Structure 1
Amino acid sequence: MKTYQALARRLVQHGIDPLFGLMGDANMQFIASYIDEQGGRYIGSSHEAGAVGMADGFARASGSVGVATVTHGPGTTNTLTALTEAVRADTALVLLTSSTPSANPNHIQNIDLRRLIEPSGAAFRRPLRAQDVPDELAQALAQARAEARPVVLDIPVEFHDVEIEDTIASPGEIPEAPPTDLDPDLLDAALGMIASARRPLVVAGRGAVESDAHDAITAFADLIGAAVATTVPARGFFAGHELDLGICGNLAHPVALTAILDSDCVIVFGASLTTYTTDAGALLSDKPVVHIDRAADHLNRYHQADVALCGDAAAVATAMTQLLVSENIEFASNRAGLAEKLRNRVPSDEFVDATTEGAVDMRAAMLRLATRLPSNRAIVTDAGRFLRSVWRYVDVPHPRYSAVTHNFGSIGLGIGCATGVSVAAPDLVTFVFVGDGGGMMSLTEFNTAVRYRLPLVAVVINDGSYGAEYSKLQGFNADPRHSLMEWPEFADLGIALGGNAVSVRSLEEIDKLDESTWAPENLPLLVEIKVDPSVDYYA
């Protein structure tokens, strides 16, 4: 068979379903073969960044490797921001692309792909022969999974029509990384710190989600009497736990912040302890920190832990629990009263509602909206000033179905990512929260959700400005009106792109949303919420 046919065949054999992409000269043949000859499911995006974002979201929600394909030249350059986001989110993803014909160095779309890709942090692979393409695909998938990062596979375009032998009926399973043996001295030191703690705190990050470590970590936390919290990417990990503080970091609510500061030992599973999680280190000051992560380069990257253990979150939590139980250690945690404070917390008391006629306070809007959302939901957030309100007041039922496209600080990636999440979780309603600026960058992918009839709701929080810049210009004593933008009505755009739309300008209009709003026949749906740009939402 020809190389493009072998490539399509191997994708299906490796269980790649669906394939995300945008068609061009360098990939149209194998996409057609994947669909027509192999029966594969293809989701076509409207922009290459969207294709990578979809593969990213799919991988995060499914736990499998996401695969996208784009054409050479500008097709690949258009992916760089979304690709860098996926790198920094530790997403297992393979991007299939192609270099232009080597016989034509003056090809209009020629660019050095290796030098383009490697600064993003993604791995780069290129087969030397057409015959090597099927095995290179298998190795790219294995590398993406083992290293938890994107791999770009450049298949030179002249290879596609070459006849090759591809006789392997099934490629078999991609091997898992071998388990890491725990250092007994470090483990003993960690347990000593934990056993002496009176106000311990357990923090779970995305690594804990990927390790399916909920039961193991919760059992460990309950044994030692710890309060529990998460990083933003692991929101929902401890949903329903009576000592769940929510987000650990500079977004913590007042009750949680007091408990975090009062803790006397912090045990971290699967989080890299960024400056946001630690509030630039202030939340971990003067207290011992035990840091567990299976990725060695995550340990001590941002914060120097007292004990750093390289290992799987579930395995380490289980080992710690067993050792502590075997030693018959009695824990004297004094978290009494914290559960009651959490139950009695009134989020609306944490801010002054600035709702006016024609524009709602986004914090009040998120509190109201959270009560109207279906329980079977996924939550995706783009980047922007609205994040604080969404992350604080809109809960995530399960961390697997939560995605944050803020790892590179770019706006405009949320809707693409949410489309991939929706494909991975078709039984859920995927809500993506996006600002007006990010929305204008990426609403074309709302049409992708329309074309594939996905259960997706895009919530556009419209303050008529680049909101973060509005606030920062005020801080610089500059005129914030320079950040104002005049957009079309987003509800009109949603309808023009083939979906349904609702425009919200009052809290009472949010109260009118009910189960029928999210009914399958109404989706995809765009909900525009008008807010006032002049309100200090960082207060």
Structure 2
Amino acid sequence: MPTVSAHAAVTLAAHVDHVFGLMGNGNAYFLDALARQTSATFTAVRHEAGAVVAADAYHRASGRLAAATATYGAGFTNTLTALAEAVQAHVPLVLVVGDEPTSGPRPWDVDQIALASAVGARTYTVGRADAAATTLIAVEHALTYRVPTVLAIPYDVAAADAGPVPDVAGPRLPAPLPAQGGFARAAVREIADALASARRPLLLAGRGAWLSGAGATLGAVADATGALTVTTALGRGVFPRPEFDLGVAGGFGAQGAMELVRQADVALVVGASLNQFTMRFGELFAPGTRVLQVDVAPAATHPHVGGYVRGDAAGVAADVLAALDGAHPSGWRESVDVAAARRYDPGEPVAPDGRLDPRSAAARLAELLPADRVVVSDGGHFLAWANMYWPVAAPDRLLMVGTAYQAIGLGFASVPGAALARPDATVVLTTGDGGGLMALADLESAVRVAGGRGMAVVWNDAAYGAEIHVYGRQGLAREPMLIPGVDFAGLATAAGAQGVTVRSLADLDVLARWSARPPAQRPFLLLDLQVSPAVVAPYQEEIVRANAANAAHLGHAASTANALDAARAVPVPAAPGR
């Protein structure tokens, strides 16, 4: 008879085609049923965090739901950082885990429901009579709210007979959120009028615009108004006219492009949350710019927004385009040299310390990388180089797994998910030495799954770069920020890849030779770039300036408060009850 685990596996496999994970006591029967009774593919990784990361990357690259699985206890707790990242990044996936018996916890069990809830994930626990229905609810919740869910299988029911697997209806998903009501219609009209009358209109789109399929319509809005366009880091490639696109807004943007953004008199923001990095800590737009926003959030997401419409990006964009009927383009975008504005500092072949300048290395890599590529990025100081110098064709061709939760060490495990989601593309991982060491367990997974369709660029500066540039400048002890030299090329070779140490731009020519070979006839390639820690990414300089400004503001506020307290001779009261 089919088991409870089989009910979960068969129901889940109706909605996913890939499951990533490790086998353990808590999920052994689930994986057995998945292999024997479904057509879903299981891909093993070497660390439980890697299971969630791979499923996360699979979704970001394909748009399809994926699943991860781990055992109970230590297996589950190993997933928490990756699970938190998926929650923060609004990635729908289902994590199937073992859990404590229904009779109560054993000495090695922990409160997994509480732990999942602490990072924002809801848990659904299957029983003997409802495993299929509960699995469907977990799938529906993940897809409806664009979050990961945890599907728990108690240890004592995992192998219990549950009868034939029932036919379960598919998940019911909500329709795109329309902009309804008189206020919304008036706001759409206001947006159209503002864009039509603007002398220097600008459109800024984020990942939300891509997910809703608004790219083509927003391109038509830009054509109708003569607007320049710009995107968030996760929205790169969403606009159809690259000749009028300024690239990435925020610290990854070119200086000339950001100066043009500040010239805009009207800016329409679509599907972008306007976080502090996109907004350059409040400096993206000039004072006086009229900022209008379209999003599904309950209210505007930044205080600089002066007009807001809540609704699906594609639907509202279509409404705005219809309201622009008869509008005349401003002519602004034809009057500026967009290509010149988007140029980045080319750097020098070698930095003063004798190591590679990461800017020139990134620019040379952009010339050599396969055109049909998916870039997956770990977190860390280095992530600027790929975002600044490597073009991507669409938002689903750049996956930044880890940045939502500001985590590092999720890079190598991203490669299997991206490789299986995009089997015809080359997956290019960009990672640092600190994150690379943290993720080392799944170097083998990347090499095994991607093979000749995968490569990694390790920006090896023998340091935790972000800490060096923030806290090193403050005079804090540098020793905890340093990493002894690590031979990543040797580690890659040991895992079955081709590892190459890169100390000069000429050493990068190996990539041209590798790219010329058919994927089936070449191994995974890892380039160990010996880069200088002295070259600071512009976005990191913005963070340093913002931190200094905040510190000065707090210091001034504290000084003012102390002066007032002294003048009034009134002590600051303690909280009641203390």
Instruction: Flag whether TM exceeds 0.5 (same fold).
Output: yes
Give the corresponding residue for 1:236.
237
Q: Indicate how the Cα distance of structure 1 residues 108 and 177 shifts in structure 2: closer, same or farther if over 3 A, else same.
A: farther
Counterpart in the other structure of 1:53: 53
User: Post-superposition shift, 1:49?
Assistant: 0.7
Q: Which residue of 2 aligns with 1:124?
A: 123
- 1:514 Cα deviation from its structure 2 partner: 0.8
CA distance in 1, matches of 2:19, 2:342: 45
Question: What CA deviation, in whole Å up to 9, does each residue of 1:42-90 have, x standing for no partner?
Answer: 0111011100000100111111112111111111111111111111111
Counterpart of 2:64? Answer: 64
How much does 1:276 deviate? 0.7
Contact 2:26-2:155 at 8 Å conserved across structures: yes
Q: Measured at CA, do residues 247 and 417 of structure 1 come closer, stay the same or move farther in structure 2, by a change above 3 Å?
A: same
Hey, what's the Cα distance between the residues in 2 that align with 1:468 and 1:248? 20
- Between the aligned partners of 2:144 and 2:99, the Cα distance in structure 1 is 26
Distance 2:175 2:74 in 1: 35
Q: Report how far residue 449 of structure 1 moved.
A: 2.4
2:407 is the counterpart of 1:372: no
Corresponding residue SS for 1:306 = strand
Aligned mate of 1:336, from 330, 334, 337: 334
Structure (1 or 2) with the larger CA radius of gyration: 2
Corresponding residue for residue 81 of structure 1: 81
CA distance, structure 2, for counterparts of residue 536 and residue 64 of structure 1: 37
Please say if residues 58 and 423 of structure 1, whose CA atoms lie closer than 8 Å, have aligned partners that are also in contact: yes
Counting aligned pairs with the same residue, the percent is 33
Say if 1:140 and 1:153, in contact at 8 Å, map to a contact too: yes
Runs of 4+ in 1 over 4 A off after TM superposition: 343-346, 351-354
* Equivalent residue in structure 2 for 1:286, among 264, 288, 293: 288
CA distance in 2, matches of 1:219, 1:240: 10
Equivalent AA in structure 2 for residue 397 of structure 1 = A
1:148 to 138, 141, 146: 146
Structure 2 gaps, min length 5: 542-578
Counterpart among 399, 420, 423 of residue 423 in structure 1: 420
Is contact 1:383–1:410 with CA below 8 Å preserved after alignment?
yes
The equivalent of 1:433 in structure 2 is 430
**Displacement of 1:201:** 1.0
Select between 476-485 and 156-165 the one with higher mean Cα deviation.
476-485
Query: CA 1:208–1:512 in structure 2 vs 1: closer, same or farther (change >3 Å)?
Result: same
Separation in structure 2 between the aligned mates of residue 71 and residue 360 of structure 1, nearest angstrom: 43
The question of 1:526 aligning with 2:526 is answered yes
Shift of 1:446: 2.0
1:21-420 alignment, distance < 5 Å: 21-105=21-105, 107-127=106-126, 129-169=127-167, 171-172=169-170, 174-177=172-175, 179-182=177-180, 183-238=184-239, 241-284=242-285, 285-293=287-295, 295-297=296-298, 299-303=299-303, 305-325=305-325, 328-338=326-336, 340-343=337-340, 346-348=343-345, 351=347, 354-355=350-351, 359-405=355-401, 406-420=403-417
Kept in 2, the 8 Å contact 1:100–1:109? The answer is no
Aligned counterparts of 1:167 and 1:117: Cα–Cα separation in 2: 28
Q: Distance in 2 between the 1:109 and 1:208 partners? A: 45
Aligned to 2:25, the other structure's residue is in SS state coil
Change (3 A) 1:507 1:114: same
The alpha carbon displacement at 1:332 in A equals: 2.7
- Aligned-partner SS, 1:98: strand
CA–CA separation in structure 2 for the residues paired with 1:512 and 1:450: 18
Q: For 1:123 and 1:266, how far apart are their aligned partners in 2?
A: 37
Residues of 1 paired with 2:38 and 2:151: CA distance? 21
- Deviations 1:90-127 (CA, angstroms, capped at 9, x unpaired): 1111111132123353x233111121111212222224
Aligned to 2:547: none
Distance 1:254 1:85, change over 3 A: same
CA drift at 1:247 = 0.6
What is the root-mean-square deviation of aligned Cα atoms in Å? 2.1
Distance 1:463 1:255 in 2: 28
Cα offset for 1:441? 0.8
Distance of aligned partners of 1:511 and 1:451 in 2 relative to their CA distance in 1, 3 Å threshold: closer
1:343-369, CA deviations, whole angstroms, 9 ceiling, x for partnerless residues?
Answer: 5754345x5665368621111100010
Residues 68 and 96 of structure 1 are in contact (CA less than 8 Å); yes or no, is this contact kept in structure 2?
Answer: yes
Matched, 1:503 2:501: yes
Match for 1:199: what amino acid?
Answer: R
Shift of 1:444: 2.0
Distance 1:410 1:229, change over 3 A: same
